[in-house]
Amino acid sequence: MPMNQQIILKSRPQGKATVDNFEMREVAVPVIKAGQVLVRHQFLSLDPYMRGRMNEGKSYAAAQPLDSVMIGGTVGVVEASAHDNFQPGDTVVSMGGWQTYSVVDANEPGAIRKVSTSHVPASAYLGPVGMPGVTGWMGLTQICKPKAGETLVVSAASGAVGSVVGQLGKSMGCRVVGIAGGAEKCLYVTQDLGFDACIDYKAQADSKSLYGALKAATPDGVDAYFENVGGVIMDTVLARTNPFARIAVCGLIAGYDGAPLPMNNVTLILVNRLTIQGFIVSERMDLWPEALKTLGEQVAKGKLVYRETITEGLANAPEAFLGLLKGHNFGKQLVRISA
């Protein structure tokens, strides 16, 4: 049996995360026991939430322990099985982490899920038909609750979550405005994803300029907002909200490295009687089957467009992850670990 390559969290970041916070090691692939499944990972999902787990402070989930394999969703192939529901060759999704192989207890509810690649590519189960897609569906349908004719704004619009939110919003009859970084991403958002408009925040000199661009794109104000970024972008959108607007807070990536998140328009929460709700997708597992069914059908029919940035090799995962935090990826950031 080949060795299992793993990337562990070696140290906690002091400010910005660096490659020195990670370390690669090799260990023997463990022998499975009754009820367990050995999975060889094909793709690893890199996601912004991982940055928060690297810190030791209090959060909605336990901190990533030092000297342990970095957490992460994976899709792969069953190599060996001691469970009746799984056979070698099955394609499965699990939280296998930053490593080549993982052993999963198949008796643990939700620990491993068999998927079909007949109509949906394996990698898509880490994107539009996986946690990012379910996150977008959940925040949109359960919190934003947009109605036909309303204006929906989505930050990080070209990303794995934002791209799903916008496309679903369009299918619900909304005017959808995206916010993304760079002209190329904005072109993708409008031409490929079908958003009505997209604001390149990198092209705006300051918050006043950003507000002007947002005002032009939302002449009737903002009724619903899906938040992935925070900071100046969120504060600017608050200034365009209509009474009783709904805001789903999915992520605040602008502050993940410890940067402050200035808010000057908080009085509008009261003035406009806003509903602002943060949510964690793993806390509503009861909604996953409905979301995955909808998303899977949309991808299989070609009605849900998505894009992937694939980094080759587990050794390059740390650099790819740091690039994700800086917005260097285009669409869903993945690492190809094996064929």
Domains with residue ranges and CATH for the chain: 3-127+306-336 (3.90.180.10), 131-282 (3.40.50.720)
CB burial of 80-113 (b: ≥16 within 10 Å; e: otherwise) equals: bbebeebeeebbbbbbbbbbbbbbbebeeeeebe
Confidence band of 1 (pLDDT split at 50, 70, 90): low
* 259 has a pLDDT exceeding 90: no
pLDDT at residue number 51: 93
**Extended beta strands in the chain, E state:** 3-9, 22-28, 36-45, 74-81, 91-94, 101-105, 112-114, 151-155, 175-180, 197-200, 222-227, 241-249, 275-278, 308-312, 332-336
pLDDT tens digits, 91-119? 999 999 999 999 999 999 999 999 999 99
pLDDT tens digits, 159-203? 999 999 999 999 999 999 999 999 999 999 999 999 999 999 999
pLDDT tens digits, 273-308? 999 999 999 999 999 999 999 999 999 999 999 999
Non-local CB neighbours of 18 within 8 Å, separated by 6+ positions: 322
**Residue 140 DSSP code:** I
pLDDT at residue number 57: 77
pLDDT at residue number 318: 98
Where is average pLDDT lowest: 28-32, 58-62, 249-253, 260-264? 58-62
- Which tokens go with 215? 């005002």
CA dist., res. 25 & res. 140, Å (int)? 40
Q: If we measure between CA atoms, which residue out of 191, 201, 189, 200 comes closest to residue 165? A: 189
CA dist., res. 94 & res. 213, Å (int)? 41
pTM for the model? 0.92
Confidence band of 255 (pLDDT split at 50, 70, 90): confident
Stretch 110-132: mean pLDDT? 96
CA dist., res. 301 & res. 273, Å (int)? 39
**224 bridge partner residues:** 152, 246
Give the chain's mean pLDDT: 95
pLDDT at residue number 61: 79
- Which tokens go with 142? 């359960």
* 127 has a pLDDT exceeding 70: yes
For the chain, how far is it from start to end, CA to CA, in angstroms?
Answer: 17
pLDDT at residue number 257: 74
* 332 has a pLDDT exceeding 90: yes
CA 192 vs. chain centroid, Å, equals: 19
CA dist., res. 88 & res. 77, Å (int)? 7
Confidence band of 258 (pLDDT split at 50, 70, 90): confident
Confidence band of 34 (pLDDT split at 50, 70, 90): very high
